[in-house]
Amino acid sequence: MNTVLFSAIIAAASVCAGFLGSLTGLGGGFLVTPVLTLLLGVDIRYAIGASLISIIATSSGAAAAYVREGFTNLRVGMLLEIATVMGALVGASLVTVLPTRVITVVFGLVLVQSAYLSGRQLVDHDTAGAPPDRLATRLKLDSTFPSAGGERRYRVRNVPGGFGLMGLAGLLSGLLGIGSGAVKVLAMDQVMRMPFKVSTATSNFMIGVTAAASAGIYLRHGYVDPGLAMPVMLGVLAGSMVGARLLFGTPTRRLRLLFAVVVAAIGLQMVYHGVAGRG
Partner 1 sequence: MASVAAPPPAHPVTRVQQAVGNLLRTGVLLAAAVVLAGGILYLARHGGAVADYSVFRGEPASLRSLAGVFRSSLVESGRGVIQLGLLILVATPVARVAFTAVAFAIERDRTYVLVALLVLSLLLKSLLG
Site for partner 1 in 177-216 (CB under 8 A): 208-209, 211-216
Our finding on whether 160 is near partner 1 (CB under 8 A) is no
Listed residue (55, 69, 27, 57) closest to 201, CA to CA: 69
94 binds partner 1 (CB under 8 A): no
57 binds partner 1 (CB under 8 A): yes
Q: CB-wise, 194 or 264, nearer to partner 1?
A: 194
Interface of this chain with partner 1, residues 217 to 236, rule: CB under 8 A: 217, 219-231, 233-234
Site size for partner 1 (CB under 8 A) = 77
Positions in 246-265 near partner 1 (CB under 8 A)? 248
Among the listed residues 175, 274, 278, 225, the one whose alpha carbon sits nearest the alpha carbon of residue 46 = 225
User: Is residue 223 within 8 Å of 95, Cβ to Cβ?
Assistant: yes
Cα-based distances in Å from 233 to 133, 206, 207, 238, 240:
41, 19, 15, 9, 11
* Residue of 56, 102, 78 lying closest to 218 (CA atoms): 56
Task: Measure the CA–CA gap between 50 and 11, rounded to whole angstroms.
Answer: 12
Nearer to partner 1, 58 or 118 (CB): 58
Q: Are 236 and 15 in contact (CB under 8 A)?
A: yes
In the complex, the smallest distance separating the C-beta of residue 96 from partner 1, rounded to whole angstroms, is 11
Nearer to partner 1, 30 or 218 (CB): 218
Residue 83, SS3 per DSSP: helix
Least distance CB 192 / partner 1 (angstroms): 16
Residues in the chain: 279
Q: Which of 1, 97, 129, 134 binds partner 1 (CB under 8 A)?
A: 1
